[in-house]
């Protein structure tokens, strides 16, 4: 199963690169009329848009691997993280740090998933 770990995140990264060419971040619509300040910055900044796509893709992949009860916890953590990201407002450095932290947390969560030997 260790080989699976080495393939999961490259797959998530590849998907993020393919999806990043669009004008939308994966987790929200950049063409929406009422974007929050953090969302505007993400839509205008390619690196942040790419980080959003990678985070959303990784989150979705992890959700599919987790048991039902653990998914609820993961969703609660994601909601709390989103509030933290929104507190960054239009501060791109703060938003980048939030994504870096969340991706690290998701990677740690993946490492803790019980897998058959």
Q: What's residue 68's pLDDT?
A: 84
Encoded tokens for 19: 């999806």
Nearest 5°: CA angle at 98, between 91 and 84? 80
The more confident residue out of 15 and 31 is: 31
Mean pLDDT computed over 94-116: 92
Which is nearest to 65 in space by CA: 101, 102, 116, 25?
Answer: 116
Q: Would the pLDDT of 22 be above 50?
A: no
The domain locations on the chain are 2-111
86 closest CA partner among 100, 75, 98, 77: 98
- Rounded Cα distance between 32 and 55, Å, is 20
- Whether the CA torsion 79, 84, 87, 89 is positive or negative: it is negative
Its pTM stands at 0.77
Q: What is the pLDDT of residue 117?
A: 59
pLDDT in tens, 42-101: 999 999 999 999 999 999 999 999 888 889 999 999 999 999 999 999 999 999 999 999
């Amino acid at each position: 199963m260790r080989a699976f770990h080495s393939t999961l995140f490259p797959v998530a990264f590849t998907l993020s690169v393919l999806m990043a060419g669009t004008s939308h971040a994966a987790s929200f619509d950049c063409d929406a009329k009422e974007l929050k300040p953090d969302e505007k910055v993400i839509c205008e900044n390619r690196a942040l848009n790419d980080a959003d796509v990678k985070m959303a893709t990784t989150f979705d992949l992890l959700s599919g691997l987790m048991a039902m009860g653990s998914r609820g916890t993961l969703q609660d953590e994601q909601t709390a993280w989103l509030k933290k990201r929104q507190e960054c407002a239009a501060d791109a450095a703060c938003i980048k740090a939030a994504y870096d932290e969340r991706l690290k947390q998701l990677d740690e969560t993946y490492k803790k998933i019980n897998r058959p030997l």
